[in-house]
Structures are given as C-alpha cells and as structure tokens.
Amino acid sequence: MSFGEIEDRLVIPLHPFEIELEGKLVMIELLFVAKSAAELYEAYQLDQYGYNWTYLPYGPFSTQSDYLNWLRLFENGTDPVFFAILNKATGKAAGVASFLRINPQWGTIEVGHLNCSLSLKKTQESDRGYVPDDEISL
C-alpha cells in the first residue's frame, strides 16, 4: 500500500438508528415525536422573527400540529435520521440535528438539519456540550 491510500475496510459501519451521545451539557438521542416534538416547538417559539429557519428549506411552522406532522414524516426514516438535542440542565429538547447521505459501504455520513433554539444558541451547550469530557481539553 502506498502512502495516503485507505486500507480496505474489514467492517462496514452500522446505520446510526440507536446512537445516543451524552456529553457534559447535552444529550443527543433519536427524535421521537411523542417524546420531544412539543418541547421543540415551544423552544422554537422564542424566535419570534423566524430567523432559525433562514437556511432551512422548511419552517417556520404556524402551529404545533403542523410541526408535529412535518416531524412525523421523518420519525422512522432511514435517511435522514433526526436526533433531538437535550439540555441536560433542564432535561428538555432544545434543538435538532440529523445524519443524512448515509453510505455505510463508503463509511461516509453528513450532519445536517441543524436547528438550535434560542435557548441553546450562543451557549456552551451548543458549542461543545456534546463532546464527552475525555474527548476534549481546552
């Protein structure tokens, strides 16, 4: 093998259906409408001008019912897979992220649909809260 070549993969990565990440300040868990959607809708209402939705191809949603119905389209999906970002201090969902363009054969995945509510923006929780303590030292 030459320098820079990727070694043959012996194990194909698993699909991220049941991944749960716990950091010092937040938890990231699979998004279930019944568990987190109402909290997310409430958190997004803090943004009265709809700035959270500027770079997303959907939203803002006029009613909680509209938001829940939209989330249900992705709840059991395989690509993208949506996750709720929970603030550990409050225990409430305060944002979402997803894995998309998942290609286990190539070992690639993208992170997208990032949407942090105002209660999460510009805080340690949104900046480095998802990183386990043993993974980073500042």
Does residue 35 belong to any structural domain of this protein? yes
Does residue 67 belong to any structural domain of this protein? yes
Q: How far apart are CA 138 and CA 57, in angstroms?
A: 35
The pTM for the full model equals: 0.82
Domain that holds residue 102: 23-129
Region label for 41, one of left (φ > 0), alpha (ψ between -120 and 50) or beta (otherwise): alpha
pLDDT tens, 31-89? 999 999 999 999 999 999 999 999 999 999 999 999 999 999 999 889 999 999 999 99
* pLDDT top residue among 93 and 138: 93
> How would residue 138 be classed by pLDDT, with cut points 50, 70 and 90?
very low
Phi, then psi, of 77 in degrees rounded to 5: -75, 165
The encoded tokens of residue 74 equal 């992705």
Does residue 8 belong to any structural domain of this protein? no
Residue 55 bridge partners (DSSP): none
Q: How far apart are CA 108 and CA 122, in angstroms?
A: 29
Residue 137, pLDDT score: 39
Does residue 136 belong to any structural domain of this protein? no
Please count the structural domains in the chain.
1
Does residue 4 belong to any structural domain of this protein? no
Instruction: State the average pLDDT for the chain.
Output: 85
Average pLDDT over residues 94-98: 95
Average pLDDT over residues 9-38: 84
Residue 115 bridge partners (DSSP): 96
Average pLDDT over residues 110-131: 80
Does residue 50 belong to any structural domain of this protein? yes
Does residue 15 belong to any structural domain of this protein? no
Residue 51, pLDDT score: 94
CATH code of 55's domain? 3.40.630.30
Q: How far apart are CA 34 and CA 125, in angstroms?
A: 24
> How would residue 17 be classed by pLDDT, with cut points 50, 70 and 90?
confident
Does residue 77 belong to any structural domain of this protein? yes
> How would residue 11 be classed by pLDDT, with cut points 50, 70 and 90?
confident
The answer to whether the beta carbons of residues 73 and 33 sit under 8 Å apart is no
Q: How far apart are CA 122 and CA 131, in angstroms?
A: 16
